[in-house]
Amino acid sequence: MKLFWFETFKTFSRWRTYISFTVIALIVIITEVVMKLSAGEIVYRMLRPFQKDFFITGNILNAWFVTAFIMNGLHIHIPFLITLVAGDMVSGEATSGTIRFLLIRPPSRGRIITAKYLTALFYTSAIVTFFALVCVSLGLPLFGSGDLVIHHYGKFDMSFIPESEVPARIVLAFIAAIWSMTVVASIAFLFSTLAENSIGPIIGTMAVVIVFLVLGNFPLNFFRTLKPYLFTTHMMNLWQQFLVVPIPWQEILRSAIILGLHNAGLFLIAFFIFKRKDIKS
């Protein structure tokens, strides 16, 4: 535990750790201000499939909708920000030449790698939590509260979540998002144990995420068959399922288990690689 706090302190002492928090704050602020200024256009585009058939009243463009909207960007910008730190956890030590110094101290390699991995997970949780706090704390004064209307663009397809249920679902969605993002952290962490500098793990992780996302979104039967086996599918599905009516708990559990297994597998590989790592040469 002491080792974990030591690693956390080390991570949060670096200024580069705060780049992610600053970027997230900027993304959310810019998005929410632009959404506020183009509220009419957004509501028109969003409700176009329904406007022909329905009179629509109420505050649809509310903080919860804006939060869910920005959360959809999770699969690109948050993974990148996570890799900045998770991809540097072990390789950073090699780059700065402190790895030998670290490993001659009493704690075992196993304890060191576990503490570093937990720190990467802690950082992932911190960044997603910060993202949630900025979204909601800025969104509520700008857009107010209301029922959450989720619809699939261009389709006559809509889920309606009453205002009383929305905060709990958003909290659950963000917890799920943390769980999803830990897989990205695990991949970056594994690559970090393999590399001697941080650029490789960052680019490598992003390449994996982007390739899997692209494969999962090709509208061809071969890729559709492949989609359920890609971690990116579960990474996105997990949090989105909390905004489905009714909540598909079975699917959530399945995705959570699959992502958990990915985490365990990736960590174990990183663990054994680090245990056998030759630091003498």
Partner 1 sequence: MKKILLFLLLLLILPHWVQAQEEASRYLETIEKKYAGLKDYTAEVTVHFNIETFKTPDMQAKLYYKAPDKIKIESKRTFFFPKEGGYFNPSLFKKEDFETKLMERSASDGKQAVKLKLTPKKTKKGIQHFLLLIDAERILIREMEVIQFDGREVKAVIEYGKFDGFELPSHIQLILDIPSFETEGPKDFDQLIQQPKRVTGSIDITYSNYKVNSGLRDEMFENPKKGK
Interior/surface letters 162-199, b for 16+ CB within 10 angstroms, e for the rest: eeeebeebbebbbbbbbbbbbbbbbbbbbbbbbbeebe
Total site size for partner 1, rule CB under 8 A: 27
Q: Per CB under 8 A, which of residues 218..237 are in contact with partner 1?
A: 219
Per CB under 8 A, 50 contacts partner 1: yes
Taking contact as CB under 8 A, which single stretch among the options 17-25, 121-129, 151-159, 182-190 is the one that binds partner 1? 151-159
Per CB under 8 A, 41 contacts partner 1: no
Binding residue (CB under 8 A) for partner 1 from 226, 245, 247, 273: 245
Per CB under 8 A, 213 contacts partner 1: no
Name 193's Cβ contacts closer than 8 Å, sequence gap at least 6: 90, 91, 113, 270, 273, 274, 277
Q: How many alpha carbons fall within 13 Å on the CB side of residue 211?
A: 6
Distances (CA, A) of 10 to 3, 34, 115, 273: 10, 36, 12, 23
Q: Binding marks (x or -) toward partner 1, 160..199, rule CB under 8 A?
A: x-xx------------------------------------
Taking contact as CB under 8 A, which single stretch among the options 19-27, 146-154, 196-204, 250-258 is the one that binds partner 1? 146-154
d(CA 22, CA 6): 23
Per CB under 8 A, 49 contacts partner 1: yes
**Coil, strand, or helix at residue 136?**
helix
Binding residue (CB under 8 A) for partner 1 from 22, 38, 137, 159: 159
Per CB under 8 A, 153 contacts partner 1: yes
Residue 84 or 236 with smaller CB distance to partner 1: 236
- Shortest distance in whole angstroms from residue 257 CB to partner 1: 26
Backbone angles phi, psi at 159, to 5 degrees: -120, 140
- Name the DSSP class of 198: S
Give the long-range contacts of residues 49-56, CB within 8 A, separation 24 or more: 49/151, 49/154, 49/155, 49/156, 50/151, 50/156, 50/158
Binding residue (CB under 8 A) for partner 1 from 57, 225, 250, 281: 57
Which amino acid would we find at residue 180?
A: S
- Shortest distance in whole angstroms from residue 51 CB to partner 1: 9
- Shortest distance in whole angstroms from residue 144 CB to partner 1: 12
- Shortest distance in whole angstroms from residue 53 CB to partner 1: 6
By the criterion CB under 8 A, which residues form the site for partner 1?
A: 48-50, 52-60, 146-147, 149, 153-160, 162-163, 219, 245
